[in-house]
Chain A
Amino acid sequence: MAKKILRCTVNGRQIELAVAPNQTLVQVLRDELNLTGTKVGCDMGTCGCCTVHINGKAKLSCLTLALECQGAQITTIEGLNQYELHPLQKAFAEKGGSQCGFCTPGFIMKSAALLAENPAPSREEIAAGLSGNLCRCTGYVKIYDAVEQAAQEMQRAEAPAPAPART
């Protein structure tokens, strides 16, 4: 199959790459761009390990053809943090939400999209939001804890500074 040029933005950088029409986004990310932080757990949309953001929405990169991403803004786990850990990454590390770690990038990307839509989710909303991501190590308990901690921290960070006291 003849390759076509894909132009998009990955983690803030413009890329221009010849890709085959049947190449999935995760193949391009991992094999062409060496962004191996995005994991392939099933390659059929059942485990959530390959979750990335496409134009701010959480998507399964194993079910997305690379050429569907013309002009898109793509963020992977490597792009979530530039100089310090994102609050979700920090919380997953501090709370023990990552054990073998293979599912972790997918969980963090999915959680980031969840918190962008719903900054203070209930346990039920976290469960529903993360129900497409599988983890075999943690029993999800510390993943819940991590998402809750990150949500609180992100809300604190976004809360407007208290007005200076008037004298």
Chain B
Amino acid sequence: MSNPHFVGVETARPDAADKVSGRTQYIHDLAVPGMLWGAIRFSDHAHARIKHVDTSAAEKLPGVEAVITGYNTPEVRIGFVRDNFALKRDKVRQFRDEIAAVAARDPETARAAAALVRVEYEPLPGVFSLQEALAPGAVLVHETDAKGRPRKDNLVPVRFAHHSGDLEAGKRASKHIVEGEYRVPLIQQSCMGTAGCIASFDTRGNLTLIAKTQIPFLAQKDFNRALGALGLEGRNTRVVVPALGGGFGTGLDTHAYEYIAMLLAWRTGRPVKILYNREEEFAYLSPRQSATARIRQGCDANGKLTFREIEVTQDNGAYTSWGATFPSVMLVPATSLYRVQNISFESKIVYTNNTYCQAMRGYGNPEITWPIESSMDELAELAGLDPVEMRLLNSNQPGETTPMGLKITTCGLQECLERTAAGLNWKENRGKRRNVKRGFGLAGLINVAGGGKIYRSDGSGIILKPDDYGNVNVSYGGVEMGQGLHSVLALTIADTLGVRPEQVIVNQTDTSTCPWDVGTHASRGAFMACNAAVMAARKLKARLLEWAEEIFPVEVEEALAKARKHPGFKEPDFDWRGNCRPGCFELSDGILTIKGAPAVPELQVDFARLLRAIHFRRQGGGTTFAEEAFYEPPTELPDWEKGIGNMSATYAFGAQGVEVEVDEDTGEVKILRLVAAHDVGRVLNPQTLKGQIYGGLAQGIGYALYEEVLTDKGRILNPGFTDYKLPTAVEMGFPIDVQLVQTNDPEGPFGAKGVGEPGLVPTAPAIANAVYDAVGVRIRELPITPEKVLKALQEKRRR
């Protein structure tokens, strides 16, 4: 590993050729023999008592094999507060509640039968906004908690808070204070490949679930618990992950549709596939939460931050997924983006009769960086400072410990801010192009980049298994969902072990063959996988080099004996025998040789030949290899109510800046160019790294300008790409300048930090700050639509 020559080099992904040829198999493309198709009957009301469910017409439809409801199947609870059920009984709490499900010979029959299920309801009044849900005497979404105890309000029973320093003292020390309320909308992850799974049982009651998941091992745990509900305690779930078709957080929870597939498979004794179409994906898969944040922060006469106070309220919808814990991640920027003492952070997670929400890339960070970084610009203006100067003055520095207890090891924030500003010719441009309605804005970020400890282990295991042909088969429990995990694994293993990247073959993720991993989330995939891979590859290499002392001389003698038969052969001018000592061998590019030896084939032993010689050792006692390693990062599980704990082994920083043009007649915001400077630690593969940043940016721009799931009393109004606007190649046609700041993190594999989420974190406030610079209006509610800009411009003119 002393001289990496694959890591850091632009390399095509190992899965690229299959993807461009249409050979990659997603859940959509998979079928197993005897498979039935499942379909779900969802609720017709946002809040109602179920009076009666009549499945007789559905059962009579030819081709239907089973119709199940909450009344004829065991209760299967879902979610970490156990407030959700695979099939609902007694009451529905959102439009997408699952009441019945059908297994049939084809998807059309299954859907037709699901529509034939007759449900009688007694409609109930619902709560559809934070105000309604928090009002005294509000209708309760859940009358009781998971243990059956009566509930008094609509608050989800988890608390994330942080109070440090002396808030009042901070306020007194302030020369300037700004305050504002900021909103983020409900948005859809919009994986191009929709959700689906195939569930099948063996005769003994073991479940195999082919699942579009990012958490195969937590899913195994969830489903093993569900097997218990079926009376199958002690039986196992094997989770197999196909090519994902995008994840973006949708795979961080187990879903009702997956449990329904399990129930249908158990009922029918046949494999059952459920696959959402696009409309179902929008209407029945959990989106990203909407939230409101109030922020107050102040600075002294010099612009130094004096205090920060944030209250976040998020609309959880009717049930609780891991996504409810967004405030756990909000704590990171709330307490630690820029140096600030005297902090108050409070969060409320509120049940409503809206669709329940789940994780999405960034997981709370974009939601809270939006108010923080908008407010930083307002504060800079009050203090009479340039926004970049204001940020540089308060920038985090390497070696500091933040009020949350985050240990900042390497920190490229200052350089990211400077390079972003330089890329936009900030000094010449910002505040000076209002005559042409052009504006410049910038925002910074902090993000976990060395895991994110939210579970009792944040570790990852890996197995490297070389074979007789020189392939290194890799079993890793994390998920390649398009981000390029397998690419950086191959490069890391190639360099650390000393083989070529194409010799590294990453197996399909499968709980039965891969060691445990907590899940591919929190920008932790490459960081964890490559750290584990380095550990395992070093162990494997050490063992192989030990064997080399015995094998190398035998193989070289044999090669030389053969070579000597050729007339004109010259003995190598190198004392190879004298150099066959521990520490003198070198394995690189799949070739074993002796350091300093001339590059002649007789003095080189191919990796495959080495492995075979060990395996088939003539005198017996040979061996094959499978080397395992488990990497657990040096982090702490935070105390969430105190908001204290170093949850990540390192932190990523970054800054993004944009130039925008605002059309004052239409309110349209057009991005003219964008600079994104990211502290990435070290580059593992520039191609996949930049892909992560570009892709993150496009999602950040969608969040900033275009995307919103619209609802009316809990019903989703725009369940499709016709009315839900994703950025296309046209919107993304402006020049993007990505600057990679390499801080070489000591805990990172080859110095690398996680890069999965940062790309979308500061994009929206950077754009809002640029809009303000262009036309002097501050938009506090995403997305920044032409309507909102026009309205703000009209209000500004009236003032």
Contacts and interface: CB of A to CB of B under 8 A. Distances in A.
Contacts of A101: 15, 18-20, 24, 243, 245, 482
Interface residues of B, number: 56
Interface string B559-579: 000000000000000000000
A96 B25 CA distance: 19
B261 interface: no
B720 A139 contact: no
Given A96-B688, A100-B244, A136 B22 contact: no
Interface string B729-757: 11011001000000000000000000000
Contact of A85 (B20, B699, B728, B729): B20
Interface string B678-722: 000000000110110011111100000000000000000000111
Nearest to A101: B19
A139 B193 contact: no
A100 B192 contact: yes
A137 to B, nearest CB: 5
A93 B20 contact: yes
B732 A41 contact: no
A76 B732 CA distance: 27
Interface in B17-42: 17-26, 28-29
Nearest to B245: A102
B484 A99 contact: yes
Interface in A34-76: 35-44, 46-47, 49, 76
Given A100-B191, A101-B15, A141 B736 contact: yes
Nearest to A141: B694
Interface string A125-161: 0111011111111111111100000000000000000
Given A89-B20, A99-B484, A134 B192 contact: yes
Contacts of B28: 36, 39-40
A44 B722 contact: yes
A99 to B, nearest CB: 4
B266 interface: no
B730 A134 contact: no
B501 to A, nearest CB: 14
Contacts of B243: 100-101
Contacts of B687: 95-96, 142
Interface residues of A, number: 57
A77 interface: yes
B721 A99 contact: no
Contact of A139 (B194, B481, B695): B695
A104 B721 CA distance: 18
B728 A49 contact: no
B698 A99 contact: no
B229 interface: no
A140 B728 contact: yes
A6 B93 CA distance: 47
A141 B695 CA distance: 8
A93 to B, nearest CB: 4
Contacts of B482: 99-101, 137
A5 to B, nearest CB: 21
Contacts of A76: 22
B61 interface: no
A39 B278 CA distance: 12
A41 to B, nearest CB: 5
A100 B16 contact: no
Contacts of A16: none
Nearest to B23: A37
A138 B695 contact: yes
A134 B721 contact: yes
A46 B720 contact: yes
Contacts of A138: 691, 694-695, 698
Given A81-B21, A137-B695, A139-B698, A47 B191 contact: no
B20 A42 contact: no
B734 to A, nearest CB: 10
A77 B21 CA distance: 6
A126 B18 CA distance: 24
B78 to A, nearest CB: 26
A89 to B, nearest CB: 4
A44 B720 contact: yes
Contact of B193 (A100, A108, A123, A144): A100
A94 interface: yes
B192 A102 contact: yes
Interface in A1-57: 30, 35-44, 46-47, 49
Contacts of B344: none
B278 A47 contact: yes
A115 interface: no
Contacts of B481: 100
A96 B13 contact: yes
A162 B277 CA distance: 53
Given A43-B277, A46-B722, A103-B192, A139 B732 contact: yes
B16 A98 contact: yes
B483 interface: yes
B12 A93 contact: yes
A117 interface: no
Of the listed residues A46, A89, A101, the one surrounded by the most CB atoms of chain B closer than 10 A to its CB is A101
B81 to A, nearest CB: 30
B726 interface: yes
B186 to A, nearest CB: 17
A140 B191 CA distance: 15
Given A36-B22, A102-B193, A136 B246 contact: yes
Interface string A104-119: 1100100000000000
Contacts of B29: 30, 36
B728 A46 contact: no
B248 interface: yes
Contacts of A139: 694-698, 727, 732, 736
Given A85-B17, A94-B12, A43 B278 contact: yes
A142 B694 contact: yes
B648 interface: no
Contact of A102 (B17, B26, B729): B26
Interface in B264-316: 277-279
Interface in B478-515: 481-484
Nearest to B728: A131
A152 B177 CA distance: 56
A96 B721 CA distance: 25
B192 A123 contact: no
A100 B721 contact: no
A89 B695 contact: no
A134 B281 CA distance: 16
Contacts of A123: 733
B653 to A, nearest CB: 21
B278 A42 contact: yes
Nearest to B760: A139
Contacts of A43: 277-278
Contacts of A96: 12-13, 16, 687-688, 690-691
B12 A49 contact: no
A41 B195 CA distance: 11
23 contacts: A30-B29, A39-B192, A42-B721, A44-B722, A46-B720, A46-B722, A88-B20, A93-B12, A99-B484, A99-B691, A100-B482, A101-B24, A132-B728, A133-B729, A134-B728, A136-B698, A137-B695, A139-B694, A139-B698, A139-B727, A140-B728, A141-B690, A144-B729
Interface of B: 12-13, 15-26, 28-29, 189-194, 243-248, 277-279, 481-484, 687-688, 690-691, 694-699, 720-722, 726-730, 732-733, 736
9 closest A-B pairs (Cβ-Cβ)? A37-B22, A100-B482, A101-B19, A139-B694, A139-B698, A77-B22, A93-B16, A46-B721, A99-B482
Interface of A: 30, 35-44, 46-47, 49, 76-78, 81, 85, 88-90, 92-105, 108, 123-124, 126-128, 130-144
Given A44-B722, A139-B732, 5 more contacts: A41-B278, A85-B20, A85-B21, A96-B687, A102-B245
